[in-house]
Amino acid sequence: MSAEIRTFKASFGVSWLKAGWTVFKAQPLTFMMMYIFIVIVGLFPFILPNTIIQMACALAGPFLTVGFYNAALNSQAGKSIMLADILKPFSAKGRRLNLFRLGLYQLGVALILGVIMSLLFEPVTSAIQNHSPEQDMESVIAQIAAAISFSDIAIFVVLQSLAMMAFAYALPLVYFKEQANILNAMKQSLKVFYYNMAPLSVFGGIVALLMIASAPLSLVPLMFIMPIVYIGFFVSFQAIFAAQSSLEDNTPDQGDKHQDNIGQSGRFDA
**Residue range 94-105, pLDDT digits in tens:** 899 999 999 999
Other C-beta atoms within 10 Å of 143: how many?
17
The amino acid at residue 119 is: L
pLDDT the model gives residue 153: 87
pLDDT the model gives residue 148: 76
Residue 117 CA to residue 12 CA, distance in Å, equals 35
Asked whether the beta carbons of 263 and 18 are under 8 A apart, the reply is: yes
CA gyration radius, the chain: 21
Q: Taking Cα atoms as reference points, which of 269, 261, 268, 264 lies closest to residue 21?
A: 264
Tens of pLDDT, residue by residue, the chain (270 residues): 567 899 999 999 999 999 999 999 999 999 999 999 999 998 887 777 777 888 888 899 999 999 999 999 999 999 999 999 999 999 988 899 999 999 999 999 999 998 998 888 877 777 666 666 666 667 767 776 777 778 888 998 999 999 999 999 999 999 999 999 999 999 999 999 999 999 999 999 999 999 999 888 877 888 999 999 999 999 999 999 986 434 344 333 444 544 455 544 455 543
- Write the pLDDT tens digit of every residue in 122-160: 777 776 666 666 666 677 677 767 777 788 889 989 999
Q: Taking Cα atoms as reference points, which of 174, 124, 110 lies closest to residue 153?
A: 124
pLDDT the model gives residue 130: 66
Sign of CA dihedral 257, 13, 192, 68: negative
Alpha helices in 48-169 (DSSP H): 51-76, 96-120, 122-129, 137-147, 150-168
Query: Whole-model pTM?
Result: 0.83
Residue 222 CA to residue 21 CA, distance in Å, equals 14
pLDDT the model gives residue 81: 95
